[in-house]
Amino acid sequence: MRRRGGTLRSLMPEGSEINAMFGKIARRYDLANTLLSGGACHWWTRRLARRAGAFLGGKGVVADLATGSGDVAFALAAAAPDATVRGFDFCEPMLDVARSRLAQKDSALGGRVSFAFGDCMALPLDDASVDAVTVAYGVRNFQDRARGLAEIFRVLRPGGAVFVLEFTQPRAWFRPFYTFYLRRILPWLARVATGNKDAYDYLAGSILNFPAADAFSQELRSVGFSAVNADLLTFGVVALHRAVK
């Protein structure tokens, strides 16, 4: 088989709305991430890449979904020096940024990294065709999370693994401070960084409504994954999940 392909918002926007939202902030997305996370996003990305690279043993084929501007894809290429990294996103302006960055790096990467259009609801990949899948901050934006996770399961080879870096519900003592930051501080900072406050109003709502790490781990098991685990990072603000097919 082959496929192609509260006051804060509580309902998931349609895929076209999310696409347009990210398209508007594509050029300043990396700056916004650095500012809004206090630089922690770079450490989170390296942690994801190192873990995936160690699993791959430095080689194999990895699909980086919701690749955005390519940060994770480039980190994977460094962490797994003999791996092929295929980045997919359904937002063309974000892919334009990733391809522009690739043009400056490709001579050093030797053609090991590529970027292409790909909707996580119907990936342009054969069944059992990749050794690992990575998704950073993208699962919250899946229009149908069960379908997207099943699609990841489909494209992984038996014994392959998915690594999901995602915002989650922080540790209880930190939650009041974090909620205040998401509701009051983050939208203002986002407006300064990108000129688009609405996109980050959505971001705050999507974080607050996303399952806690244990609940998301159960969702991974429900589509067939095993050996599921999650490491909480930075007071539990984000979780790094791993699950094996």
Longest dimension (CA), the chain: 49
Checking if the pLDDT of 3 tops 50, the result is: no
Q: Which two tokens stand for residue 116?
A: 């292409």
Q: What is the sign of the dihedral through the CA atoms of 77, 80, 86 and 89?
A: negative
The CA-atom distances, in angstroms, between 147 and each of 96, 161, 180, 210 are 27, 17, 32, 16
CATH class, 15-244 region: alpha beta
Average pLDDT value over all residues in the chain? 88
Burial class (CB in 10 A: 0-12, 13-18, 19+), 11: exposed
Q: What is the pLDDT of residue 191?
A: 76
The CA-atom distances, in angstroms, between 214 and each of 137, 205, 211, 230, 231 are 17, 20, 8, 8, 11
Q: Give the containing element (helix H, strand E) for 238.
A: strand 238-244
Q: Which two tokens stand for residue 212?
A: 């806690």
Measured CA to CA, the distance from residue 21 to residue 210 in angstroms comes to: 19
Measured CA to CA, the distance from residue 58 to residue 31 in angstroms comes to: 29
Split at pLDDT 50, 70, 90, the class of 100 is very high
At residue 95, the 3 state secondary structure works out as helix
- Across the strands, what pairs with 231? 240
Report whether 56 contacts 168 (CB < 8 A): no
Q: What is the pLDDT of residue 79?
A: 96
Q: What is the pLDDT of residue 24?
A: 63
Strands 226-233 and 82-89: unpaired
pLDDT digits (tens, 9 = 90+) for 109-130: 889 999 999 999 999 999 999 9
Give the pLDDT mean for 3-22.
48
What percent of the chain has a predicted confidence (pLDDT) above 90?
Answer: 68
Give, as one character, the DSSP assignment of residue 185. I
Measured CA to CA, the distance from residue 128 to residue 77 in angstroms comes to: 21
pLDDT digits (tens, 9 = 90+) for 168-222: 999 999 999 999 998 888 878 877 777 766 666 777 788 889 999 999 999 999 9
Q: Would you kindly state where each structural domain of the chain is located, as residue ranges?
A: 15-244
Q: What is the pLDDT of residue 228?
A: 98
Q: Which two tokens stand for residue 58?
A: 């430095």
pLDDT digits (tens, 9 = 90+) for 127-181: 999 999 999 999 998 999 999 999 999 999 999 999 999 999 999 999 999 999 9
Report whether 21 contacts 202 (CB < 8 A): yes
Checking if the pLDDT of 101 tops 50, the result is: yes
Split at pLDDT 50, 70, 90, the class of 23 is low
* Nearest to 12, CA basis, from 240, 207, 219: 207
* Nearest to 237, CA basis, from 137, 134, 135: 137
Split at pLDDT 50, 70, 90, the class of 7 is very low
52-56, 68-72, 187-191: lowest mean pLDDT where?
187-191
Q: What is the pLDDT of residue 105?
A: 87
